[in-house]
Structures are given as structure tokens and as C-alpha cells.
């Protein structure tokens, strides 16, 4: 069935304005799932292609091994990716440039899937500030990413918070619809999963990505579905022909801290 999720973007996860996103939650087992990323860091870059499974099945996604995957840009460069393993295809010579628009084309089993993403200008993550709150004998921690939003309206950010030696990652998205052009004042919160609780001795890593609007919409919906943890779901994709997943050209800035 289809269910409408209302995302209140003024809260910490998705600051901005109220936006309605319609999510198709039908069983789409067997559908193509494409996850592609190009960053401003040196390559290679990867596109991961699998098949979706039913909600009742285990989280084992069959890899797609016979796709023809091409990435091109608006400057006339084009590259066919090489299959590596487990549904992963990688570039060999592609050089990313901020401001360029990248087109992904995937051809598999007689079907074509395309997506475009424009890499925004980079915004630097200057540092991390640890905030704490104590109630009784319980202290909880949040992390404030320090960066200054550019004056031009329309910047979108994706944050990935992880704890060293743990597999879970927490995803949050910000926009500059509020506090445009200002120093960030919004903290990152770990998910409610006890394994994600921030504790003394933890080494915290934060990646800040500058993303385009369509990728922001995808991850805004994903956060609502999954509660912040990175789990497969069915948010609105920027890939054509009914494919699940996303294609993102983005910048990356990273920092770490130790909770003492």
C-alpha cells in the first residue's frame, strides 16, 4: 500500500519546512536496487547493484553480476565500470569535479535505468563539539558538527555518524531553509538502538556530505522510515524505470573525536 509521511523539517533530523513525501510500501521483491556514489575524493567510485527481497525475508540481497554500468558527465567524459564482486562495479579513470553533473546508466536484462546528480560546492566541516546532558546517574551525549553554511540558499547536508569498532551508522540530514548562511547550531543524535549509545571511551567519526536536492529528498524519507539507521526501504528514488536506491555525486568532509 501507499502511505504518506509528513516530514517536519524544522526538527533536528530534517530542518526546514513541512514537506509531504509519498512512499510506496508495496512488496517489491526482485526489483533492482542501485546505490551509486561519486565524491570529491580520489576514486575509484562504486555502484552497487542487487535485487530486493520481501520484507519477511532475511537481509541477504542477491547481487546483480551481468549489468553494463556507465557513468558520464556534462563535460563529455564517459566510462564503463568494471565488475568487481558481490554486485559492485567500479570506475578506473573517472576524475570528479565539483559543479559537474553526472549521469548513471545501468543496462541489465533488457532494462535501462538512468539517474543524474550534480556535485555541489564543498562546505568544510571545521570540527566537532561534544554536548552532554546528565539526569540522575545517566549522561547522554550528542555531537555538534561545526561548519558555516554559505549565504546562498539551497544547501543540503547528509551526516553519517559512526562509532569505531561498531558496524552501525546513523544518518541525519540538514537543510539551510532555517539558519541560512549561519554557523550550524544543530546537533547529531545517535539512533535509539542501545548499540548506538555514545559512551566514554568511544571514538566518534562524522562524515559530512554536501548533497543535491533529490538525494536529500531520498535520505529524508529514508530517515523517517528507518529511524536513522541505514536499512533498506522504499523512499523516492532519483533513478528511473522503477529502480530502488539512489545515485549521488557529493563532497565529503570528515572529523573524529574521543569521548573522555
Does 176 have pLDDT greater than 90?
A: yes
Does 159 have pLDDT greater than 50?
A: yes
- Cα 105–chain centre separation: 20
> Whole-number mean pLDDT of the chain?
86
Residue 48: the pLDDT is 98
Task: Name which of 48, 76, 39 is nearest 251 in CA terms.
Answer: 39
Does 13 have pLDDT greater than 70?
A: no
Task: Name which of 171, 69, 172, 71 is nearest 119 in CA terms.
Answer: 71
Q: What is the pLDDT of residues 200-242, one digit of tens each?
A: 999 999 999 999 999 999 999 988 876 555 544 578 999 999 9
Does 3 have pLDDT greater than 60?
A: no
Per CATH, the number for 31-119 is 2.60.40
Residue 57: the pLDDT is 57
Beta bridge partners of 3: 23
Does 55 have pLDDT greater than 80?
A: no
Query: pLDDT category, 59, cuts 50, 70, 90?
Result: low
Residue 165: the pLDDT is 86
Does 183 have pLDDT greater than 50?
A: yes
What is the pTM (predicted TM-score) of this model? Answer: 0.84
Overall size of the chain counted in residues? 260
259, 130 Cβ separation under 8 angstroms = yes
Residue 17: the pLDDT is 36
Beta bridge partners of 179: none
Residue 210: the pLDDT is 99
Q: What is the pLDDT of residues 72-103, one digit of tens each?
A: 999 999 999 999 999 999 999 999 999 999 99
Q: What are the residue ranges of CATH 2.60.40 in the chain?
A: 31-119, 125-231+250-259
Residues 88, 220: Cα–Cα separation, whole Å = 25
CATH architecture of the domain with range 125-231+250-259? Sandwich (2.60)
- Cα 249–chain centre separation: 10
Residues 72, 87: Cα–Cα separation, whole Å = 20
- Give the rounded percent of residues in the chain with a pLDDT score beyond 70: 83
Q: What is the pLDDT of residues 235-260, one digit of tens each?
A: 899 999 999 999 999 999 999 999 99
Q: What is the pLDDT of residues 107-142, one digit of tens each?
A: 999 999 999 999 999 999 999 999 999 888 888 999
239, 114 Cβ separation under 8 angstroms = yes
Phi/psi for 5 (5° steps) reads -110, 130
Amino acid at each position: 500500500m501507499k502511505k504518506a509521511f509528513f516530514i517536519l523539517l524544522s526538527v533536528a533530523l530534517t530542518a526546514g519546512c513541512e514537506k509531504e513525501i509519498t512512499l510506496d510500501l508495496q512488496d517489491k521483491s526482485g526489483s533492482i536496487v542501485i546505490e551509486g556514489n561519486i565524491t570529491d575524493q580520489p576514486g575509484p567510485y562504486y555502484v552497487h547493484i542487487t535485487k530486493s527481497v520481501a520484507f519477511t525475508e532475511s537481509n541477504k540481497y542477491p547481487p546483480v553480476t551481468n549489468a553494463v554500468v556507465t557513468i558520464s558527465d556534462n563535460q563529455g567524459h564517459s566510462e564503463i565500470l568494471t565488475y568487481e564482486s558481490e554486485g559492485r562495479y567500479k570506475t578506473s579513470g573517472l576524475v570528479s569535479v565539483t559543479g559537474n553533473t553526472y549521469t548513471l546508466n545501468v543496462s541489465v536484462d533488457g532494462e535501462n535505468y538512468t539517474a543524474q546528480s550534480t556535485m555541489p560546492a564543498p562546505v568544510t566541516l571545521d570540527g566537532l563539539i561534544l554536548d552532554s546532558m546528565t539526569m540522575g546517574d545517566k549522561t547522554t551525549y550528542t555531537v555538534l558538527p561545526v561548519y558555516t553554511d554559505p549565504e546562498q540558499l539551497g544547501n543540503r547536508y547528509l551526516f553519517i555518524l559512526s562509532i569505531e569498532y561498531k558496524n552501525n551508522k546513523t544518518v541525519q540530514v540538514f537543510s539551510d531553509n532555517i539558519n541560512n548562511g549561519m554557523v550550524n547550531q544543530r546537533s547529531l543524535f545517535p539512533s535509539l538502538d542501545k548499540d548506538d549509545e555514545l559512551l566514554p571511551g568511544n571514538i566518534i567519526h562524522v562524515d559530512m556530505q554536501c548533497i543535491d536536492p533529490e538525494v536529500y529528498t531520498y535520505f529524508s524519507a529514508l530517515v523517517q522510515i528507518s529511524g536513522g539507521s541505514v536499512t533498506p526501504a522504499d523512499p523516492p528514488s532519483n533513478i528511473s524505470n522503477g529502480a530502488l536506491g539512489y545515485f549521488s555525486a557529493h563532497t565529503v568532509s570528515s572529523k573524529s573525536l574521543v569521548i573522555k
